[in-house]
Structure 1
Amino acid sequence: MTASEHTMAWQAQSLLLDYPSAALLDRLSLLREVTRAVPGPVGDPLAQILDHVERTPLPDLAADYVATFDHRKRGSLYLTYYTYGDTRKRGMALLRFTHAYRAEGLVLSSEELPDHLAVVLEFAAGHPGLGLRLLSEHRAGLELLRLGLHETNSPWASVLDSISATLPRLRGSDEDVLARLIAQGPPEEEVGLQPFGGLR
């Protein structure tokens, strides 16, 4: 893929993984153009989710989004969760995202964690090199999310298929991590994450 194709794909994926709103509906025609402008393995899955969005009333779409991503651990959109769970180490991983964004002049509100997949994709669209590195570092978690969405026949599984098509294939180490995540799940250790709620 070219840099411009990565930019278009990641921006479209970011919009489709954000909470569904009227703003998304206003961008459907533009998103359709993206599906035709990027390679088939990236664009075809996006066309599938767009079909679903177009035929689903917005309140139903929003309710399904909440049920999919807010109430299921295997559906978490927070990338560091898969590697670190709710442990102290996750706080340091969140800071890595924060520092990467700040280095490029991006400041998030305190309302959003910096590892939310929609946020990471939007950042990657504007900074493809660094964005690819951040996404690739969480390749196993992305694959676990993709598999989890397919298990529940979620329409958003196609967005993860599209994301996967923009990234390198799973390597041996990633496959090992994925196998461990499938068998054991993320680490567990309840700690407060408020200090890492975003950039200030």
Structure 2
Amino acid sequence: MKHSRQKYFKVFSYMLGYPNASFFDGIAELEEWLKGLPPKEARGLLQKGCERFTKWNIMELQKHYVATFDFKDSTSLHLTAHEHGDGRDRGAALVRLKAMLGSAGYEELDGELPDYIPLLFEFLAEETDPVMIAEIEQRLAKGIAKIRKAMDPASPYTLIFAAAEQILPVVQKSGETPYDHENQKPDLEELPYPLYYEH
């Protein structure tokens, strides 16, 4: 189960990343890869997402990506924007998150902020520390739920967020996840490998 979850996180990271020139080649590979994942509602949603992506050309998809994720606060792909808005607390949250990822061997590339959601899914696909995983998963669960509700239902990305909700912890009506009741703090013990994310 844990191994399949990590595979799902890898898929989410790719599908939510900026659609570069080779994006559709990767989608074709993902369609085959998804067949090997356990039969879950998430897998079906991702397969539908792949089909929906193919109805777009790369220029249209790039414009849609920028318009959706770069120019709308409600669907931003930066997690702390959903947690703190543009308030002062966001800066502190970014510093803490950067320290957490750095302690696990993550090295920033391309100047991307540490709260970029595709990057965090890539992190979850590789991380082994259960406390770090629990914190990032529950935070992503809340952020993803907010984004999905704000998404245009016709967007191919809506299906990706819906699939992520099936894999991440359930967000209660109160806005909490099971992790919120555990009162755990992340273990910042350094891990022996670096994590790289290319955007």
Normalising by the smaller structure, the TM-score range is 0.7 to 0.9
Match of 1:32 in 2: 31
TM-aligned CA distance change 1:135 to 1:62, over 3 Å:
same
Q: Distance between the aligned counterparts of 1:127 and 1:33, measured in 2?
A: 25
What is the number of equivalent residue pairs in this alignment? 174
Distance apart, 1:156 and its partner CA: 0.4
Q: Distance between the aligned counterparts of 1:76 and 1:38, measured in 2?
A: 30
Match of 2:80 in 1: 80
Match of 1:103 in 2: 103
TM-aligned CA distance change 1:138 to 1:15, over 3 Å:
closer
TM-aligned CA distance change 1:66 to 1:133, over 3 Å:
same
**TM-score, structure 1 length as denominator?**
0.79
Secondary structure of the structure 1 residue equivalent to 2:156: coil
**TM-score, structure 2 length as denominator?**
0.80
Distance apart, 1:73 and its partner CA: 1.3
By percentage of residues, which structure has more helix?
1
Match of 2:143 in 1: 141
Distance apart, 1:29 and its partner CA: 3.1
Task: Describe the superposition over 1:133-174 as per-residue Cα deviations: whole angstroms up to 9, x where unpaired.
Answer: 21312432221101111x453220111011111112113542
1:67 aligns with 2:56: no
Secondary structure of the structure 2 residue equivalent to 1:27: helix
TM-aligned CA distance change 1:163 to 1:132, over 3 Å:
farther
1:161 aligns with 2:162: yes
Task: Describe the superposition over 1:34-83 as per-residue Cα deviations: whole angstroms up to 9, x where unpaired.
Answer: 32213321111111221122221111111111111111111111111112
**Identical amino acids, percent of aligned pairs:** 26
Q: Is the 8 A contact 2:53 2:156 kept in 1?
A: no
Match of 2:123 in 1: 123
Distance apart, 1:13 and its partner CA: 0.7
TM-aligned CA distance change 1:106 to 1:77, over 3 Å:
same
Which shows bigger deviation, 129-138 or 37-46? 129-138
Task: Describe the superposition over 1:90-122 as per-residue Cα deviations: whole angstroms up to 9, x where unpaired.
Answer: 011112221121111111136101111101001
Q: Distance between the aligned counterparts of 1:76 and 1:175, measured in 2?
A: 21
RMSD over aligned Cα atoms: 1.9
Secondary structure of the structure 2 residue equivalent to 1:55: coil
Secondary structure of the structure 2 residue equivalent to 1:102: helix
